[in-house]
Structure 1
Amino acid sequence: MHNRVLFMIRGKLGDSLVAYAVARAYIDRHPDQEIHLLLRRDYAPLIAHERGFQLLPFGSRIEMILRLLWLRIRGVGFDAFVVLLGFGKPVRMAARIAGAGRNIYLDGRFADVFSEFPARWDPDTIEGPAWEAAHLLDSGISRPERLFVESLAARNTAAPGAPIAVVPIANELRKNLDRASLASLLEWLSRRHPDARLWIVLNPGDRGADAVFPDSLPANVEVKRFRTLLELISLLQQTSRYCGTDTGVFHVAAAMGIPATVFFGPTQPLKIVLPRQPGTEWLRLEVLRNDHCEVKSCTQPMCLHQAIANITAKPCASVLERTPQGCPLRAHPADSLARNSPAGSLVR
């Protein structure tokens, strides 16, 4: 019996939400236990109003260590410390300071401190590693099949006909739309939803944000900028749908219960989208299936731009000859790039 458990979630935005879904499954099964949850301070607004645990936000690794040290000095001990998401030396240090009876990590790389870790590593699903680790603590815990944060969803005030959030930038050039593909997407959405307002939602600090806008925007299109997570949540709660490339923002929208269309270029849709996420569809070139592209230097992702061109019936501005030498598309005939994966053709 574990009376006091410490979970660590220390990673990127979308991964953190998925790891929280694993923690949430454990919390709901053990309402009698005292649960503490370490989470980056920037992401605290996502779950600040959730119940059943004590949130321990931190802004830096030093603050995280100091929080744990203060708990130790106060005599707050843990029966188990479970890392659901986190890598690097701070993880080992946190385990030593927490002084829990059981230390559980994602794999065996810190075996000198974490004596327990799953027998298998599940790299092909976004929730797998966290669930495998939590499974050692409770073998009956359910594997998350969708994202949903009740307190976040309660903030969603969008009525029918609310704006559609178009998110063309992912802070990584190989995952960004270009001017031509964004213009085509806006025109396609306007035809598909003739009465809808379209909000281009982006962080002006993201790479490529200043180069994505078409020369002119239609009357039904408005640019909405955010710089903080709270500002992003405030924008999303007024929208009826997410449509874009940023998977971190997609995960926030999904947790809020917002339907979504996600465009994939180099990354794996079956790894990013949980298998039973309501109201979610994704689009990717058929030839790429669920394979991951390792070409990090790409700045003109034809895979993404062509997928947009395929649904909008507009020409793709990117050309195969300008892709990096290692681009997976180079191994396929040009005419095979004209097809996106049919809905439901790829399943876990």
Structure 2
Amino acid sequence: MKRILIVRTSAIGDVVFASPFAAALRRTHPDAHIAWLIEPGIDGLIAHDPAVNERILWPKSEWRALWKQGRRMEVLRRVLALRKRLHAGRFDTAIDLQGLMKSGFLAWLSGAPRRIGLGSREGSQWLMTEAMPRGGDPARISSEYLHLAQQLGLDTGEFMPSLHLAPAAEAQALERLASLGLAPGGYAVFAAFTTRPQKHWTNAGWQRLAPLVQQRTGLVPVLLGGPADREAAARIAEAAPNIVNLAGATGLGEAAALVRHAGALVGVDTGLTHMGIAFSVPTVALFGSTCPYTVTGRDNARVLWLDLDCSPCRRNPTCGGRFNCMTDIGAEQAMVELAYVLEKKP
């Protein structure tokens, strides 16, 4: 492999999980040119990865908006422009880590003569020259990417998620901390928000945990999230005045830097939580309807999962909206796990 294209366009957590795959490619093929096809906004996660030579952006949201507007010919022009861009890369190998039709189509569009698909489905397997089943120990973080790396004979090394921040994002985060009177390591990130209601913890849980964290560890709770999380964050913060609410106030790069400099992190199944493990921050992950891993690979990271009979249900809850897998997690339980990881060395 001399010119390699990784296709993993989204989402934040999945890009974090996939990050060690690029490093394994680089160790095995130190002289290769490695590109990563990814969506704008998420691309900052790999922008400073020493294993990746270039980012190629797939503006999915723009294409979708044009399609909804009925501008089919413009979409076709965009597709052909991306095809030209990819062909100019002269990739001999494209590796689809997503395994969906959209990602398989992008790998095929690259023109790479060798196209490897991980768990290819939705018909994307017919666009691959090699479709490899997902495998590995599902309890281990990044297991499916590790399994693929092993099947390809790559030097897997430690194979743990890792992120490399932009200096500007790091400086911005440190400046914000100073403005809030917070020191690096002097706060605990609460990563409370994600994409589906069955993955959320309760407002009351966060509100009870916040004073416990500050009283027992001295860490100030800092709530992070995106612009869409502002209202939910305000509801949590209104009954927990010791929380510093930064939901919607930071971009992804600054949020990642705030995670990196945190003294601890408690979060649900969301990208920011997985970043905590990537940065080796003492982390407690609260899982219920999903359980992507229970083996974190870090002594200072633990998963709190009740292992109910109906869990993980993923996208098909059977509890009628009760979500006991999350609502039954108590603040004291979370605090016990947090005290444990704080005692462990990275």
Q: TM-score, normalised by structure 1?
A: 0.74
Confirm whether residue 276 of structure 1 aligns to residue 297 of structure 2.
yes
Out of 79-88 and 171-180, give the one that drifted further.
Answer: 171-180
SS of equivalent to 1:112: helix
How many angstroms does 1:65 deviate by?
6.2
Aligned pairs for 1:1-348 (under 5 A) are 2-52=1-51, 53-60=53-60, 66-72=81-87, 74=88, 76-88=89-101, 90-107=102-119, 109=121, 110-118=124-132, 121=135, 124=138, 127-136=142-151, 138-142=152-156, 145-151=159-165, 155=170, 161-193=185-217, 195-206=218-229, 209=232, 212-213=235-236, 215-218=238-241, 220-226=242-248, 228-268=251-291, 271-272=292-293, 275-285=296-306, 287-288=307-308, 291-294=311-314, 295-296=316-317, 299-309=321-331, 311=333
Q: What are the superposed Cα offsets for residues 47-95 of structure 1, whole Å, 9 maximum, x if unpaired? A: 21122422212222666763332242x4x4222111122412x334323
Q: Aligned residue pairs: how many?
A: 307
Judged with a 3 Å threshold, the aligned counterparts in structure 2 of structure 1 residues 132 and 303 are, in CA distance, closer, same or farther, namely closer
Show CA shifts across 1:292-341 (max 9, x none). Answer: 1244476443322322245279xxxxxxxxxxxxxxxxxxxxxxxxx99x
Question: Equivalent pairs: percent with the same residue?
Answer: 21
Compute the displacement of 1:38 (Å).
0.9
Taking the aligned partners of 1:85 and 1:165, their CA distance within structure 2 comes to 29
Higher relative helix content: 2
- Note the residue ranges of structure 2 that are not aligned, 5 or more in a row: 64-74, 178-182, 342-346
Find the residue that maps to 1:181 and give its secondary structure. helix
2:97 aligned counterpart, secondary structure:
strand
Distance 2:109 2:156 in 1: 30
Closer, same or farther: CA 278–147 of 1 in aligned 2, 3 Å: farther
Note if contact 2:5-2:91 (Cα within 8 Å) is conserved in structure 1. yes
Cα pair 2:7 2:97 within 8 Å, conserved:
yes
Which AA in structure 2 matches 1:56? Answer: I
What residue number does 1:336 align with? none
Q: CA deviation at 1:275?
A: 3.7
1:56 is paired with a residue whose SS is strand
| CA distance, structure 2, for counterparts of residue 185 and residue 192 of structure 1 | 11
Which piece of structure 1 moves more, 30-39 or 302-311? 302-311
What TM-score do you get using the length of structure 2 for normalisation? 0.75
SS in 2 for 1:6: strand
CA RMSD of aligned residues (A): 3.5
| 1:332 alignment partner in structure 2 | none
